[in-house]
């Protein structure tokens, strides 16, 4: 009798270990590192020489922060870490803050800030690494299978 109880207990432990391993695998496979731009603007993005008067430096700081906000909200969703940025700024790269200095929205200033962004885009200090849940590994095989089936059917019908 004592042996039967021990066998049942071992089976329970085995099942528990298998369940924990399965949960551990799913958790491991479902977390992916993602890179996000830092919320605080890098100092390299602001190019205001110390020789400038404080008022002009403050204005330039506001302009740089407005463009950085655009980078965080508009550019980052379009281009990921490691993606090359286009040579020319996309149409969405603009600031719409009405209280900035007059030259803040002119094309030369916009292009200047785009070039600054291109310069710092690949710097390690510009990005922070986060672990995020990502269940794409579950759907990728299904999408791939559906795509292959679709291609196969197209070849049959088209032939």
Query: Tokens 């496979």 identify what position?
Result: 29
Specify the pLDDT at position 111: 93
pLDDT score of 142 more than 80? no
pLDDT tens-place string over residues 47-98: 778 888 888 888 888 889 999 999 999 999 999 888 899 999 999 998 877 6
- What span, in angstroms and rounded, lies between the C-alpha atoms of 149 and 143? 10
Query: Tokens 């986060």 identify what position?
Result: 130
- What span, in angstroms and rounded, lies between the C-alpha atoms of 60 and 48? 7
Query: Tokens 């196969």 identify what position?
Result: 152
Sign of CA dihedral 149, 155, 158, 159: negative
Kindly report the pTM of this predicted structure. 0.66
pLDDT tens-place string over residues 6-38: 778 888 888 899 989 988 887 777 777 788 999
- What span, in angstroms and rounded, lies between the C-alpha atoms of 75 and 89? 10
Who has greater pLDDT, 135 or 112? 112
């Amino acid at each position: 009798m004592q042996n039967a109880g021990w066998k049942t207990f071992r089976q329970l432990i085995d099942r528990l270990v298998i369940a924990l391993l399965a949960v551990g695998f799913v958790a491991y496979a479902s977390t992916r590192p993602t890179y996000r731009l830092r919320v605080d603007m890098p100092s390299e993005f602001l190019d205001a020489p110390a020789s400038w008067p404080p008022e002009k430096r403050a204005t330039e700081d506001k302009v740089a922060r407005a463009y950085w906000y655009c980078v965080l909200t508009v550019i980052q969703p379009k281009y990921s870490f490691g993606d090359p940025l286009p040579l020319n700024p996309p149409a969405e790269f603009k600031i719409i803050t009405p209280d900035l200095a007059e030259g803040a929205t002119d094309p030369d200033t916009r292009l200047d800030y785009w070039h600054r962004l291109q310069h710092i885009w690949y710097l390690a200090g510009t990005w922070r690494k986060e672990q995020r849940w990502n269940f794409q590994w579950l759907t990728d095989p299904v999408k791939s299978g559906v795509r292959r089936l679709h291609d196969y059917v197209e070849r049959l019908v088209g032939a």
